């Protein structure tokens, strides 16, 4: 079964532990079956640069849950499926460092990167999310909104997986475990 969860985080500032939104999309048998989106109160400052990118302001998250409250819901949504992110190094660093900061045990979550997969699979001169959406001629609006970016990642991943026998073959080559990370 080629099922996975596409994930995207937005942060309030340059600190990976400053999650201000989470978006996830579940893909089961080539169909988006569920979505998950929430604003997160990072209990941290918002940089003007990040606000300009994702349009989330401090007042938008005042009544939002903190990440320690959101994380169990994320894990219920992910279940035992592999996770994909476009530029997974960023998103997995955000997740890992946020868990460590909150003293939450790091799960042995399997993940892979759709950007790396794209670089290894198709011949395009640029591999960013918006460039890959253009490559696949998919209408893409709302870049840097966590749910929109997760949907874009899911659509790109779905198309890239057509070049491989199945998801397991991709995971055997490109799969990593979050619990193996040694971010500093």
Give the CATH number of the domain where residue 41 resides: 3.30.420.10
pLDDT of residue 183: 54
Please state the pTM of the whole predicted model.
0.94
Number of domains in the chain: 1
Tokens 């997740």 locate to 95
Residue 48 makes CB contacts below 8 A (sequence gap 6+) with none
Which structural domain range is residue 142 located in? 4-180
Between 4 and 144, residue with greater pLDDT = 4
Mean pLDDT over 7-20 rounds to: 97
| Contact between residue 6 and residue 45 where contact means Cβ atoms under 8 Å apart | no
Mean pLDDT over 25-37 rounds to: 94
pLDDT tens, position by position, 109-128? 999 999 999 999 999 889 99
Confidence label for 53 from pLDDT (cuts 50, 70 and 90): very high
Query: Is the pLDDT assigned to residue 184 strictly greater than 50?
Result: no
pLDDT tens, position by position, 67-96? 999 999 999 999 999 999 999 999 999 999
Considering Cα of 54, then 59, then 64, then 68, what sign does the dihedral take?
positive
């Amino acid at each position: 079964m080629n099922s996975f969860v596409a994930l995207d985080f937005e942060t309030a500032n340059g600190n990976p532990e400053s999650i201000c939104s989470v978006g996830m999309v579940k893909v089961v048998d080539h169909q988006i079956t569920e979505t998950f989106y929430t604003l997160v109160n990072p209990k941290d400052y918002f940089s003007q640069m990040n606000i300009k990118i994702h349009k989330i302001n401090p007042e938008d998250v005042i009544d939002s849950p903190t990440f320690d409250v959101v994380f169990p819901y994320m894990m219920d949504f992910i279940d035992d499926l592999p996770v994909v992110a476009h530029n997974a190094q960023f998103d997995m660093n955000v997740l890992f460092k946020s868990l460590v900061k909150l003293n939450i045990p790091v799960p042995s979550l399997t993940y892979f990167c759709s950007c790396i997969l794209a670089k290894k699979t198709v011949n395009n001169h640029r591999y960013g999310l918006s460039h890959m959406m253009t490559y696949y001629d998919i209408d893409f609006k709302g870049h840097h909104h966590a749910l929109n970016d997760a949907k874009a990642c899911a659509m790109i991943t779905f198309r890239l997986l057509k070049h491989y026998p199945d998801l397991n073959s991709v995971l055997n080559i490109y799969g990593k475990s979050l619990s193996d990370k040694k971010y500093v």
